[in-house]
Amino acid sequence: MKAVLKAQKTETTEYIVYKKLAKKHSGKNADILERISQDEARHASVWEEYTKTRVKPNRLSILFYTLTNLLFGTTFTLKLMEINEERAQKNYEHWLTLLPEAKKILQEEEEHEQALLDLIDEERLKYTSSIVLGLNDALVELTGTLAGLTFALANSKVVGLAGLITGIAASLSMAASEYLSQKSEKTEKHPLKASMYTGTAYVITVILLIFPFFVASSPYTALLWSMANALLIIAFFTFFVSVVKSTSFKLMFTEMAALSFGVAAVSFVIGSFANRLLGTSL
């Protein structure tokens, strides 16, 4: 019975979330979300016939999905909910032999999944590759630069300033390159928007990576902090892309982390040699 109560609570919660999402859209998308919300409400009513209990929705989940939609868009939110739909389907499969209604609910949950897959074409998803370009290039280039400069100069503020100048210049260069690339390829992406996404992603990454050098007194502490920030950026963005694109989080995370920290490791060595041979410490 606890499992049925849990399913009832989940369906009640998802009814409210889908209802809220439907109000933020129009046309076909709104109709699909509204239909799914009504299905979820009906599923909750079916479980209520067994539990004889009215359950309250999970307010924390509603708040979470509302904030997720606000920050990361509808597609990301729906993909997260799709994962929960898949978990629910497994529960219904277990109950097929016990509850006659479970078969129909399972079928509708599968229909929801297909409907959600065909839903919403957000602008930001079209420019995911441009964001990846900015993030990845900034991570690889700047982690390597900061690592090399730390060992070569051994001065937090100087390393931070050098990293800032390098990062801003590189962000402008990457934005310009993306603009020219999209213009020459004539894809569905707007060249100026693509360059803005690339440049913005690059600048944000630069700020997060050089910030520790203006706060920590030790350049080596700042470097470790910067590397930790790089890892968090990689983890966060990889999770976002893996959910939206239904790709492997582990594979993408490993690739990006290996590239960034591999370049940083080589730069450590180069910076260390430069310090010893040229005496560049400040």
User: pLDDT, tens digit, for every residue of 81-114?
Assistant: 877 666 666 665 666 556 666 667 666 666 666 6
Cα–Cα distance for residue pair 90/173, rounded to 1 Å: 49
Distances (CA, A) of 117 to 14, 31, 37, 139, 240: 17, 15, 16, 31, 16
- What is the mean pLDDT of the segment spanning 247-276? 78
Higher per-residue confidence, 127 vs 155:
155
pLDDT, greater one: 132 or 277: 132
Residue 210 pLDDT: 94
Query: 101-105, 172-176, 177-181: which range is least confident on average?
Result: 101-105
pLDDT of res. 46: 78
For residue 213, pLDDT beyond 90: yes
Q: What's the predicted TM-score (pTM) here? A: 0.72
Q: Quick one: fold of 2-121?
A: Ferritin (1.20.1260)
CA–CA separation, 22 and 16 (whole Å): 10
Q: What is the structure's pLDDT at 88?
A: 60
State the DSSP string of 112-155: HHHHHHT----HHHHTHHHHHHHHHHHHHHHHHHHHHHHHHH--
Residue 244 has a CB neighbour count (10 Å cut-off) of 19
Cβ contact 135:237 at 8 Å: yes
For residue 37, what are the CA distances in angstroms to 30, 43, 112? 10, 10, 10
Domain with CATH 1.20.1260 in the chain: 2-121
Separation of alpha carbons 191 and 175, rounded Å: 10
Q: What is the mean pLDDT of the chain?
A: 80
DSSP structure class, residue 127: T
